[in-house]
Structure 1
Amino acid sequence: MKLKALVLLPLAASALALTACSSDDGDSSAADTTSCAPTPQNVSGAPSWTVDGVQGKAAFTVTDDAKNAAPAITLTTPFKVDKTQVKTLIAGNGSEVTDATTVSVCYEGVNGTTGQVFDSAYQRGEPAQFPASGVVPGFRQALVGQKVGSTVGVVIPSADGYPDGNPGASINKGDTIVFGLKILEAQG
């Protein structure tokens, strides 16, 4: 199930239509802004960020960021946090994302309880476009204030994600969700 179907407000459809007809403000990074690459096989190197949860541990390792490859997310399950935590793994140099911005993002979402990917633009090979204000609060925190070109890790407790769960995405009430993402473009 796509992130936009999971976390966008109903108004997102109109924003998506506008985004498809417009270009960015010229501040995007030099990376390809039309595709997302899956995590390379055999990821090595030290994690860029490790999070100790109230249960388990999460680690993010940047892979081939220049090709929009997914950061590798490694979890000790069950993984659970009690507050949203965001880390800029690689800082971009484009325009800053605001609540009014519509973004194009490569992302991968992992359920902290099961360790399973529940949604991935990387696996689909193409970024998703949505308004920064139209996603769950924890994902919004990972976007707003970041610059285009940034690669970001975020761990989101149930309260800032899906407090009642999202059965269509195999997310149960109380599940922590984890995202690795790269902001490719911003409009607005």
Structure 2
Amino acid sequence: MNIKNAILVLGAAVVLTVAGCSSDSDSGSGTTEPTATAATGGADAGGSDSGAASCPTAPAKADATPQWSEKGATGGLQMVASTATEAPKITIETPLSVTDTQVKTLVEGDGAIVPETASVSVCYVGVNGRTGQTFDSAYESGTPVDFPLDGVIPGFSKAIAGQKVGSKVGVAMTSADGYASGNPQAGIEVGDTLVFEISILNAS
């Protein structure tokens, strides 16, 4: 699954929802699901002195201690944040579902706070809570992804805005904050909870 197709497949309706939603129930109402041809593409996230040019690709150590353990309405998750050399590890007790989007700062960075209107450069991995399967990962390619926060699914923006550059963040998002109408290209069905680990490299 192409990274931009999985996360950045946004149409105007979804972008407008980001600006106007205040709850999980609001965020999924009245939207039409975008298509891959509506991808926003990579916005320039320069202006930060992070200097990170790649995402770590080595697997996490088998005995790594999770920074986040969470029980859902059904199932649960454990998450190990990425390091300078190792990709994150997400373990799902399936099927995982949450009734409210949960955001967890796994490792706090020391950079500037990311505003809601920022363009960012991140490494991330996305896992479907229903299946426990990874549907997209910048850690597999080793290449960070750049985008504006007003051009991604609501749960992704909620996870990043307000965090510090350099932070590693986990999010378990409701279907309303992810793909309320599903995303067949990524194997995402209506109602699926999505789980991400995100490493914030730059923001501008």
Pairing 1:4–2:4 present = yes
Distance in 1 between the 2:169 and 2:76 partners? 17
Contact conserved, 2:125 with 2:134, CA < 8 A, in 1?
yes
Pairing 1:136–2:146 present = no
Pairing 1:50–2:69 present = yes
Distance in 2 between the 1:143 and 1:155 partners? 13
TM-score in terms of structure 2 length: 0.80
Pairing 1:66–2:91 present = no
TM-score in terms of structure 1 length: 0.86
Give the match for residue 35 of structure 1: 54
Q: Which moved more, 1:116-125 or 1:33-42?
A: 33-42
- In the TM superposition, residue 94 of structure 1 has moved relative to its aligned partner by 1.0
Secondary structure of 1:12's counterpart equals coil
Contact conserved, 2:153 with 2:178, CA < 8 A, in 1?
yes
Letter in 1 for 2:5: A
Give the match for residue 82 of structure 1: 99
**Count of residue correspondences:** 176
Secondary structure of 1:37's counterpart equals coil
Matches within 5 A, 1:1-188: 1-8=1-8, 9=10, 10=38, 12-13=40-41, 16=43, 19=44, 23-26=46-49, 28=50, 33-40=52-59, 42-63=61-82, 65-67=83-85, 69-187=86-204
Indicate how the Cα distance of structure 1 residues 11 and 126 shifts in structure 2: closer, same or farther if over 3 A, else same: closer
CA RMSD in angstroms comes to 1.8
- In the TM superposition, residue 40 of structure 1 has moved relative to its aligned partner by 1.8
Q: Deviations over 1:64-84 (max 9, x none)?
A: x123x3221000011111111
- In the TM superposition, residue 34 of structure 1 has moved relative to its aligned partner by 1.0
